[in-house]
Structures are given as structure tokens and as C-alpha cells.
Amino acid sequence: MTLQRNKAIYTIAEGQCTILKRRMLNWSRPFSILVFLDSNGYTDQYSRYECLVAAGAHTSIPLADGLSGLSDHHAEHKDWLFGHINYDYKNSMEPALSSKHETVTGFEELSFFCPETVCYINKEQNELVIETFAGDAEAIYEAIMQAPDELQTDVPEVAFNKRTTQDKYLEVVNRLREHIKDGDCYEINYCNENYAERVSLEPLNAFAKLNKISNAPFAAYYRNNESYMMCASPERYVRKDGDTVISQPIKGTARRGSDKEKDELIKRQLSESVKDRAENVMITDLVRNDLARSCTTGSIEVKELFGIYSFPQVHQMISTVSGKLEDGGAVTDAIKYSFPMGSMTGAPKIKVMQLIEDYEDCRRELYSGTIGYITPAGDFDFNVVIRSLFYNAKSGYLCYQAGGAITYDSSAEAEWDEMRLKGWAMERIFSPEGKL
């Protein structure tokens, strides 16, 4: 028997949305399991919410049940589900894959929960909806409104260690180019971890500072007991609306210019870059093939190719692929047949994931995985976990990963610079000068 949530809707006064989001975050702080998803005011035709908060676990999906258990739970209960899938869940989906490096952040390979309370602000930013099993929605609203309306951004100074040295990174990029030359693959995403140990950190402060400096449309603050993620992702992995799914892979990154004229020049250069277009079209084609595995024949469309979108730190090249799902499939089929996302692997997928395991010096864990939600109606939206900090409060381990797509035309030095550009957005929040 499905329980009924207590639900209430409240009007948000003009200009109060940002303050309300701060209150919601402060209210949610004590929960040992919570997800906060923030669109940061970015809206397009695919937007559904300005933000969502899921606080407390009413029920959890056992790891052993996997994606099929997630679908079965939703089919039975028709309720909200929030959670994440680690990149390393690939090993449960494909017998030829494995991960040899140790886990350090503490996130399970797959973890979903049905929350006690869901709060969400619509994309118009004029309504707050509260749905809860935890008593009266009005009491929760009052508690939110009594929470502090400011977020602290005090974080310690942290010096990060590089898991892979620059010399080794350059060497590996050139070895991967040889794999491409030999026909083993035609594009591969190669990443490097940066880490610090025994860090004493208030994770919400770090997220508040990251989200202020690098606000992004798929930002997330996630706590799962002692494991935390602070995410400033610009990338959507996959979205379902009825029988329609879309995916929006990113390939192509350029630093913002120091003034408007330089910024426009860099933006135009990214749009016209032969290398970035080649990377983007290869991954777009991979996404087309991935979505085709769960969609009806002939329904796959490229809605936009090589779109250029601007964010606080960088310009990005983004394409949009859509398809119509097969009738009668499980709610998670589009995820099952496309995970991990092609923008974080390369192609052909199985081969490049084996090469990633051979050449990378750490386990990806939640990095290049996904976090998101499924609605009671079976719609969902999941991001790509990039531009993210991971923190284990028990061990004090703080880390992030960054990388890029390697093609035969890649310059090892340019790839290193792009990877460090992405890392700069992470490290600068722990540096008083904002420098690496």
C-alpha cells in the first residue's frame, strides 16, 4: 500500500527565490541523507524545476537490487526517488569490465532512496511545493522559513596533490594517441585525480562557495552519511518526459575572456574549432546509438549540434539528442542502455573503458557518474557528475577529478592545460588568491 504524502503549495514573493534556497539548504543540514539540486536560474525548454531538496530516507533501494530493483520499486510505489550511480557501476552492467583501484570517498556504486520530504521550486520561481511523510507540510514550511537566510562560505586553505604528474600525463596522452592510430578506439576520456588528506571541512560551506563562483544548471549538494559531493556540473546526462528522452553531451571547452571583446573571440574560436567539433560529433553519434537501444526505430534526432553555451568560468560546446522510448519498457531503460555517459568514456565504449582502467591512476567512483531524481509519474533528470568535489568526513579525504577527450589530433600539452583549467574552478575556492 502506497502512503499518501502531506502536500502544500506556497507563493514565493518576487526576488525571494535565492533567499528561500539558502533557507532550504540550512534547514536540510542535519539530515544524514539529502540531495539538493539547483538550476541556478538557467532555464530552457527542458527545464522542470529551479531546485529540489530531498531530505531523509523513508525507504532505500538495496545496492544488490540495482537498476532493475529501482524500476520495480517505482512501479510498485509510484513515488519520488533520488540518488546516484557511480561510474564504476559499469562493472555490474558489463562482465568484461572491472575496477582495480581502491575506493576512497565512500559512495556506494548505486544508491537511491525514497525521501521523507521533497521540497521543490518551480522553474518560474514563484511557487514552493512541499510533499512529506514526516508530519505536517506547514510545520516543515515554518521550519524552513525560520532557518538562516545566509550560507557560510568559510573554508580552509587546501593544497592539492596531483595523483598523476604532468610528465606522466603527457606521456599517457601520447600513448592513447597511439591506440587511436592503431585503431583500438577513436576517442577516449582521460582523467586525473587531485586530492588532500586529513582536511577538516564544513561541506555545505564549500558547496556554497563553489556554487557562488561557478554556478551551473546542474549543481548539486549531496550527503550520504559521511560521504559528501559538492557539484557545479554544466552537463545533463539524460532526461525523460513521458515517452521522450534527451541527452546533452558536452565536448569542447574554452576559458572565458578577460573582457567582452576577447570573450566573444574565444567563443567564436570554440564554435569554429575543427578539433572540438570532431570530438563533439563523435560523442553525439555515440549518444545517438546509446539512446537507440531503448527507443523506437527512426525516432532518434539531433535537436542541436555544436551549440555554444557560456558559464562563469568557461564556454562549452553542447549538442542535444532526443528519442521516443519503446512502449512497455522499465522506467530506467534509457539509463540502463546508455550508462556510463559517452561524454565521459569515448568510443567504442567497452574498449575505451578498459583503456581508462589501464591508464588512469585512481578509481573514478562518483566522478563521471550521475545524480538525479525520478518523479512519481516516472519522469526523470540526471546530470553528469563533473566539476565536483568529494569529501569523506570520517577520513578527511578531499578530492576532485578532471580530464578531457583525447583524439589523434590532440596536443598533450593542450590537454594538460584544459584539464588544469577545469581544476582551477575547484581549487580556487580553497586559495585566498584564487590561483593554482
CB 37 within 8 A of CB 220: yes
Predicted local confidence at residue 433, as pLDDT:
65
State how far the Cα of 303 lies from the Cα of 345, in Å rounded to an integer.
22
Q: Give the DSSP letter of residue 7.
A: E
Domains and CATH numbers, the chain: 6-133+158-430 (3.60.120.10)
Bridge partners, 59 (sequence order): 114
DSSP 285: H
- C-alpha 429/C-alpha 134 separation (Å) is 36
Contact 293, 313 (CB under 8 A): no
Q: What is the pLDDT of residue 435?
A: 46
Q: Is the peptide bond before 340 cis (omega within 30 degrees of 0)?
A: yes
Q: Between helices 203-213 and 412-427, what is the axis angle to 10°?
A: 120
pLDDT of residue 3: 75
Q: How far is CA 30 from the centre of its chain?
A: 23
Cα separation of 357 and 98, whole Å?
Answer: 8
- d(Cα 173, Cα 405) in Å, to the nearest integer? 10
Torsion angles phi and psi, residue 323, rounded to 5: -160, 165
What is the per-residue pLDDT for 423? Answer: 93
Is the C-alpha dihedral spanning 100, 105, 106, 111 positive or negative?
A: negative
Residue 16 pLDDT: 97
Provide the 10 A C-beta neighbour count for residue 417: 12
Catalytic residues: 235, 251
DSSP string, 360-409: -SS--TTTTSEEEEE-TTS-EEEE---SEEEEETTTTEEEEEEEEEE-TT
Grid cell 539540486 is found at 37
Tens-level pLDDT at each residue, the chain (436 residues): 467 999 999 999 999 999 999 999 999 999 999 999 999 999 999 999 999 999 999 999 999 999 999 999 999 999 999 999 999 999 999 999 999 999 999 999 999 999 999 999 999 999 999 999 998 999 999 999 999 999 999 999 999 999 999 999 999 999 999 999 999 999 999 999 999 999 999 999 999 999 999 999 999 999 999 999 999 999 999 999 999 999 999 999 999 999 999 999 999 999 999 989 999 999 999 999 999 999 999 999 999 999 999 998 899 999 999 999 999 999 999 999 999 999 999 999 999 999 999 999 999 999 999 999 999 999 999 999 999 999 999 999 999 999 999 999 999 999 999 999 899 989 999 987 644 3
